Amino acid sequence: MLKVENLTIAYGKTEVVHHVSFDVKKGSVVTIAGANGAGKSTILNTIVGLHRSKEGRILYKGEDITRTAPDKLVSKGIRLVPEGRQIFAEHTVEENMLLGAYVEKDAKKIRDRMDQMYDRFPRIKERRRQIAGTLSGGEQQMLAIARALMTAPDLLILDEPSLGLAPIIVKDVFKLLTEIKQTGVTILLVEQMVDNALSISDYAYVLETGKIVFSGTRDEVKNSDDIVKAYLGNV
């Protein structure tokens, strides 16, 4: 589904990601773990076209998308749920959903999709007339995910979906992601604290100061003492 080859990214003259390669197979859930500042968000932003890479290639369904504009990628089925949710706080909840479907011009499709989302997220439906900034953190995260699902993406990328949320809500979020996975959506996750993420992942990469230092299946990661100590806390 998504193949990243030899990706190098720089901010000005400072290289922050060095020759990173990884693979996300169709229908799988892949986690990229790493400490704050390892370059995880930079990689995601580069994949979705917000940032330009210095070197390397990004392939999506076999097609080179290295320099493709964000709106094209949305149409191709790649959606990012950004770090910190970034919902449009001054828009209503429903407007956030509509913005999620911005590239879709067919009003009926939007309507249908919105109904589907409302079925899946009854809390969001309840609050659809509310200003999005008034939602709780968990609700905002749900809204951010629902908003991304408005275009029925094939690849859903999430940047630290558990950030700043109460543990019980984090559980809900990951339960939701499992459900989304079951509908056939491929998921790429980035997390600092990966215990929850790992539980739903098929494969994981560990990133340290812009380099991949470890990769393996869920079980391989769990069996690596170093990694567990460094990133997984008390599993």
Partner 1 sequence: MQQLIFGLANGSIYALMALAIGMVSSTTGIVNFAHASVVMMGAMVSWWMMVICGLSYLPALFVAIAVSIVLNIVMYETCVKKLGDLQNNVGWIITLFGASIILDNIARMMFGTEPQAFPYLFGGKMVTVFGANIMLHELMMITIAVVIGVVYQTIIKRTRFGRAVRAVAFRPSTSELMGIKSEKIILSCFAMAGAVAAVGGALIAPITFASYTMTYSIGLKGFAAAVLGGFGNTKGAFIGGFILGLIEAFICIFVPAGIKDSISFVIMIIVIIFLPEGIMSAKFFNKNLSAAEKV
Residues in contact with partner 1 by the rule CB under 8 A: 48-50, 69-71, 74-75, 79-80, 82, 84-91, 95, 98-100, 102-103, 131, 133-134, 140, 147, 151
Residue nearer to partner 1 on the CB measure, 91 or 211: 91
Residue nearer to partner 1 on the CB measure, 18 or 85: 85
Query: What is the smallest separation between the CB atom of 216 and partner 1, expressed in angstroms?
Result: 30
Q: Which residues touch 107 (CB under 8 Å, ≥6 apart)?
A: none
β pairing state of 203-208 and 29-34: parallel
Query: What is the smallest separation between the CB atom of 218 and partner 1, expressed in angstroms?
Result: 28
Query: What is the smallest separation between the CB atom of 71 and partner 1, expressed in angstroms?
Result: 4
Measured in degrees and rounded to the nearest 5, phi and psi for residue 22 equal -160, 175
Secondary structure element (H or E) that encloses residue 178, with its range: helix 167-182
Q: How far apart are CA 228 and CA 135, in angstroms?
A: 35
Residue nearer to partner 1 on the CB measure, 53 or 140: 140
CA end-to-end span of the chain: 30
Secondary structure element (H or E) that encloses residue 211, with its range: strand 211-217
Q: Which has the closest alpha carbon to 138: 157, 166, 119?
A: 166
Secondary structure element (H or E) that encloses residue 213, with its range: strand 211-217
Residue nearer to partner 1 on the CB measure, 93 or 194: 93
Residue nearer to partner 1 on the CB measure, 6 or 86: 86
Query: What is the smallest separation between the CB atom of 1 and partner 1, expressed in angstroms?
Result: 19
Residue nearer to partner 1 on the CB measure, 147 or 181: 147
Inter-helix orientation angle 93-100/137-149, to 10°: 30
Query: What is the smallest separation between the CB atom of 107 and partner 1, expressed in angstroms?
Result: 10
Q: Which has the closest alpha carbon to 163: 235, 229, 85, 89?
A: 85
Query: What is the smallest separation between the CB atom of 190 and partner 1, expressed in angstroms?
Result: 15
